[in-house]
Amino acid sequence: MVEAQTWTTRRMSNPRLDSTEQVLDIPPTPPGEHRNSFGSNGGGLSPTVVTALIIASWYLSNIGVLLLNKYLLSYYGYRYPIFLTMLHMLSCAAYSYASINFLEIVPLQHIHSKKQFLKILALSAIFCFSVVCGNTSLRYLPVSFNQAIGATTPFFTAIFAFVITCKKETAEVYLALLPVVFGIVVASNSEPLFHLFGFLVCVGSTAGRALKSVVQGILLTSEAEKLHSMNLLLYMAPLAAFILLPFTLYIEGNVFALTVEKARGDPFILFLLLGNATVAYLVNLTNFLVTKHTSALTLQVLGNAKATVAAVVSVLIFRNPVTVMGMAGFGITIMGVVLYSEAKKRSKVTTH
């Protein structure tokens, strides 16, 4: 979609639909008595093997949606990022409905009030902005640089948390954000394929992902309004598609007719779009499964490593030029993200 790898959550198409594009923030895993057995027995496999397979699937889906988006938007010539994001949302809506109502991977939760609905609508709008910006940036920037910028999410999260909620972090946390920003400055100055518009929309996507995380923590605070990440996706995805429809028609024209015409000459486009939309949903599903079988902390650690793995894989596949200074800047940013995560953990231990 489609964060989501991330307008994903992180997590659907952006990679963060959290890209980490695109990725939704995952609340605590429901107690054992409320969980379905989905994905828990692994067909007789040991728990360690099941967990390893789930983590591998998480990497494949998160990196896969980034590479597919890049291929479609930059190399294949399908230059309709808004329509592509809308397809991600429709896919997530359909797959979420099936997985919750038929596979029962999590209990179905209902929207209980108009107020709760309007809050979810607001999150959907921010989600749309983040994912569309992330997908658009892939038209102009290599995946490696896109991931470097996306790694600065903690910086924007800290800013929005302070501006909106007046939440202050410890000095150690703020100091850890310095290398996050410095690394991007270094990487930007030495990026051979730097594109100003692509850079700005990618920063917008990263900021949108951070804003959604902060706003979600404010809006859905009461126990009656809190939704499991998979239920939140079920309601946000169709709303996001509805929001995107007028934008894709106005900005990109009659994309549906153009896609049908393109499919007559090359049916492979249908396979690409279906596969891309399916992988966008798998990003969110594997986010949930990783948290269920490990912990939210493990997901955070995997997310830090994913940016590096995605950057390396994209360079190997698309052969985009990289510089020593660019790699150094990326490395400084990732180091800053790790330091930030450790500082946050220590600050939580101190406050508790």
Cβ contact 277:105 at 8 Å: no
Q: What is the pLDDT of residues 125-149, one digit of tens each?
A: 999 999 999 999 999 999 999 999 9
- Tell me the average pLDDT of the chain: 85
pLDDT tens for residues 113-127?
A: 898 999 999 999 999
Q: What is the pLDDT of residue 44?
A: 67
Q: For residue 216, what pLDDT is reported?
A: 86
Q: Is the pLDDT assigned to residue 101 strictly greater than 60?
A: yes
pLDDT the model gives residue 27: 45
Q: Could you tell me how far CA 98 lies from the centroid of its own chain?
A: 21
- pLDDT value of position 302: 82
Residues ≥6 apart with Cβ < 8 Å to 272 = 68, 71, 72, 76, 78
Check residue 305 and give its pLDDT. Answer: 84
Is the pLDDT confidence value at 259 over 90?
Answer: yes
What's residue 110's pLDDT? 92
User: Is pTM beyond 0.85 here?
Assistant: no
Confirm if 334 and 183 have CB atoms less than 8 A apart. yes
State the Cα–Cα distance between residues 228 and 216, nearest whole angstrom: 12
Domain limits, the chain: 82-351
pLDDT of residue 351: 66
